[in-house]
């Protein structure tokens, strides 16, 4: 169990080092997206996308099959969920999961379902939940286990 704790600390420490080189926090940049079919609803204010949803916000890339965006009165997304074949990439980290919830106000992206996997360089970690703070680049993994490959 101690080995996995070291892996998590190494991942967080390495990720934090990249945060200093980021030009802007992801949440302050516009989110651009595309999908095959979109539905816009009022009361409640929602954007629903089906099939091939792809969004980018700064260095963050998110793909999934179904997207539900909750928007405020100014029609700005405050949070969203992605379901089905979720893939996330941020810098040199890749994550796969069944579902994701992104709170844009708190800048936290939580992935779960199907034992989400995060890959960074040649190392892999999995757990029941992976939470990424998109502003400071920290990653928290619940029930973490994985393989750490030391870079030379």
Mean pLDDT for back-to-back runs of 10 residues, the chain (152 residues): 31 31 52 92 90 91 94 86 94 92 92 91 92 87 91 68
The predicted model scores a pTM of 0.74
Looking only at the bridges linking them, the beta strands covering 129-133 and 138-142 are antiparallel
Q: Mark residue 137 as left, alpha or beta (left: phi above 0; alpha: psi -120 to 50; beta: remaining).
A: left
């Amino acid at each position: 169990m101690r080995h996995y704790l070291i892996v998590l600390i190494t991942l967080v420490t390495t990720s934090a080092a990249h945060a200093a080189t980021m030009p802007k926090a992801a949440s302050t940049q516009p989110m651009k997206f595309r999908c095959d079919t979109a539905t816009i609803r009022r009361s409640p204010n929602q954007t629903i996308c089906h099939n091939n949803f792809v969004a980018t916000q700064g260095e963050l890339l998110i793909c999934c099959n179904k997207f539900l965006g909750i928007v405020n009165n100014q029609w700005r997304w405050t949070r969203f969920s992605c379901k089905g074949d979720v893939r996330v990439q941020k810098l040199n980290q890749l994550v796969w999961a069944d579902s994701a919830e992104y709170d844009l106000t708190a800048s936290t992206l939580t992935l779960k379902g199907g034992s989400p996997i995060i890959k960074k360089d040649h190392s892999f970690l999995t757990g029941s939940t992976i939470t990424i703070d998109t502003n400071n680049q920290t990653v928290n993994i619940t029930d973490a286990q994985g393989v750490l490959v030391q870079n030379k």
